[in-house]
Amino acid sequence: MKNFFYNLGYFIKESNTIFRVDFLSNIFSIFSIGLIFFILSMIFSGWWISNEVIEVLQKEAEINVYFDESIGDSEINDLIQSIGRIHGVREANLVNEEESYNRMTEILGKEARILELFEENPFSSFIEVKIQIEEIDFVLERLDLLDGIQHIRDNKEVIDRLQKIITILTVLGVLVITAVGISTLVVVSHIIRQGIYNNREQINTLKLLGAPDSFIGFPFLLEGLFLTVGGGILASSLGALIIHYGYSQMGGSLPFIPLPPKDAIVTSLTILTMSLSCILGIIGSLFGLSSAKAS
């Protein structure tokens, strides 16, 4: 270990020399690896945001029960109590016409002026039923047995579609990670083999002087690590810019979408990208060294 730190300056100098021998090719490799990692980070962020949206929607899952307007207040209260006793129902509350109108006004924002075209309130009273999403089928079955219910509006179809999107993103994420790993390993190992070929005379000289393989190969490992770390930094920077831009756009146009904290996503993406870049850089370099030695 003492010898390693003693020779560290030499290793860094040699890896820098090896990098400059094929400078243009290495620069393009950094950009290529960076774009590969950038695609990975975008897939991961899409999966995370979708998953967060699903979790929030599940916690806030509710059913809107519209009742026959001809029934009286006492019957409405009895209906609310009956709904509240159903297994899987967390809470049942009456939303009157005025509150329903105010809610829609908040959702529409600037577009709420369209509601002024109506001479009367176009919204009717309903019962807001907060449920446990996993019990939605049971709750719907029980609601169908109650008298006085005219219509039931639920978000099950929307949630099911979002869950399918998460499944697709998860599978796509696994495929992208696999593709990123293979592509990065191939690129790095090829560059290491090419570097060894270009410096074969110096390597033979070091071997004649008695230098061990680890001493000869470590600068090439540093070169591969530098390539992938450079690509990781590029991908992290692009990812952070895209996320900041996306949040600024969605925050203004879709303020009701429950997004996870922006800083948490950027930090996690940076950690993921840089960790993968280091791991793949080392593995790719070792693979390149072993394949060059075998040949």
pLDDT for 63-102, tens place per residue?
A: 888 888 778 888 888 888 998 899 888 888 888 877 777 7
pLDDT at position 251 over 70: no
Query: Which domains occur in the chain, in start order?
Result: 2-57+160-294 (no CATH), 62-154 (3.30.70.3040)
pLDDT at position 252 over 60: no
What backbone torsions phi and psi does residue 153 show, to the nearest 5 degrees?
-115, 120
Burial class (CB in 10 A: 0-12, 13-18, 19+), 227: buried
Share of the chain above pLDDT 70, in %: 79
Average pLDDT over residues 207-214: 71
CA separation, residue 153 to residues 70, 156, 160 (Å): 20, 9, 15
Burial class (CB in 10 A: 0-12, 13-18, 19+), 171: exposed
CA separation, residue 126 to residues 79, 95, 99 (Å): 11, 5, 10
pLDDT at position 130 over 80: yes
pLDDT of residue 234: 92
Q: What sign does the CA torsion over 156, 144, 92, 134 have? A: negative
pLDDT for 214-239, tens place per residue?
A: 777 788 888 888 888 998 899 999 98
pTM of the model: 0.64
Residue 179 binned pLDDT confidence (cut-offs 50, 70, 90): confident
